[in-house]
A = this chain, B = another copy of it.
Amino acid sequence: MKDPVQFLRHHGLSVTAQRLAVLRAVSRRSHSTAEVIAEEVRSEINAVSRQAVYNALGTLAEKGLIRRIQPAGSPALYEDRVNDNHHHLICRTCGKTVDVDCAKGRAPCLTAADNAGFEIDEAEVIYWGTCPKCLAKSARSRA
């Protein structure tokens, strides 16, 4: 099921140039916004509408081929690493986003101390901090 064409068919979705290009764009530039992906797609196929990009990102995320993350204060980001319970580390200064594996292995992340009767299906973890580059920069400016 790694072939995107198969994947789309398998989910009853038509195979379109836009969807395939969006998929490739997400793989090429992980953690980028719809806007960036749209540009990337345009450099590959001649043109896409913004709406088509949003549609593609939306349905692909829904079907589980890509993942959408929506960090505070940033437009949504998309990545193709999926189904592996990993988390993100985001720089407060420059927004740089990197993957981190789940600290606790499999999926005990899903465990909350008290679930308040909720049925929990995902634990989203975002680590906020400062990336090495921005750390260096601020050290320099403080000197």
A residues adjacent to B (C-beta < 8 A): 68-73, 76, 87, 89, 91-92, 98, 100-103, 110-132, 135
Contacts and interface: CB of A to CB of B under 8 A. Distances in A.
A89 B118 CA distance: 8
B132 A117 contact: yes
A122 to B, nearest CB: 4
Nearest to A109: B125
Contacts of A69: 72
A95 to B, nearest CB: 12
A116 B129 CA distance: 11
A116 B98 contact: yes
Contacts of A89: 112, 115-116, 118, 120
CB-based closest 3 A-B pairs = A70-B72, A117-B132, A120-B129
Given A120-B89, A124-B125, A125-B123, A114 B130 contact: no
Contact of A122 (B100, B119, B129): B129
A40 B118 CA distance: 28
Contact of A116 (B100, B122, B125): B100
